[in-house]
Chains A and B, each alone.
Chain A
Amino acid sequence: KQEVTQIPAALSVPEGENLVLNCSFTDSAIYNLQWFRQDPGKGLTSLLLIQSSQREQTSGRLNASLDKSSGRSTLYIAASQPGDSATYLCAVEGGSTLGRLYFGRGTQLTVWP
């Protein structure tokens, strides 16, 4: 059974810092990996999708990398801002269950001015 772990569980940093959020998964037979942002009590906003054949994806100040063989992904946030404060969730789709996402518990990020 696929298990997804995110480290750290919470992170509090001053504005302007560069951040790295970590995600690991136990079954490397994945189709893709997706990073989401979730504001308190709200739905999920997709940030980046990395297909299994790709190594990284970039969108603005966000960069996500994927090392499928080692079961790891990192989300890099450059020059963090207070508006980046949210919970960041990592999800993998894979194994024998196309279309089903397995989520980690998330990293709760607080960026203070």
Chain B
Amino acid sequence: DAGVTQSPTHLIKTRGQQVTLRCSPKSGHDTVSWYQQALGQGPQFIFQYYEEEERQRGNFPDRFSGHQFPNYSSELNVNALLLGDSALYLCASSLPGLRSYEQYFGPGTRLTVT
């Protein structure tokens, strides 16, 4: 049973560019959340998708957007990249529904903005 997978593993972009990160949830999970982890910090919640809709959002600008597909996989898009967007981007998935469940994390995508 594959866990949460993310692609790509590493990415280098230039300021002002746009980037798309991808996540496939653990089998049987339908809720996907995205987190940003800057070096030396704990992960910060970006947003969560459930039933192909953004269910809740953290304190991130509109440059950060996402999408969830019918197969529950998800994308995170960041426009107009800033140096401060350099971080490890983590995807987490959990069991179906609106209850509180254990969240499982993927290996992350390391984004470097130069």
Give chain A nearest CB distance to B97 CB in angstroms.
10
- The one of B45, B92, B103 that contacts A102, using a Cβ cutoff of 8 Å: B45
**Number of contact residues on B: which range applies?**
20 to 34
Main secondary structure of the interface of A (DSSP, over half): strand
B68 within 8 Å of A (CB atoms): no
CB nearest to A45 among chain B residues:
B105
Give chain B nearest CB distance to A75 CB in angstroms.
15
CA distance A32 to B102 in the complex (A): 9
Question: Which A residues are in CB contact (< 8 Å) with B90?
Answer: 43-44
- The one of A51, A93, A97, A105 that contacts B42, using a Cβ cutoff of 8 Å: A105
Mask of A70-97 contacts with B, CB within 8 angstroms, 1/0: 0000000000000000000101010001
In B14-55, which residues have CB < 8 Å from any A CB?
31, 33, 35, 40-45, 48, 50, 55
B71 within 8 Å of A (CB atoms): no
CA distance A85 to B94 in the complex (A): 27
Question: Which residues of B are interface residues toward A (Cβ below 8 A)?
Answer: 4, 6, 31, 33, 35, 40-45, 48, 50, 55-56, 58, 88, 90, 92, 94, 98-100, 102-108, 110
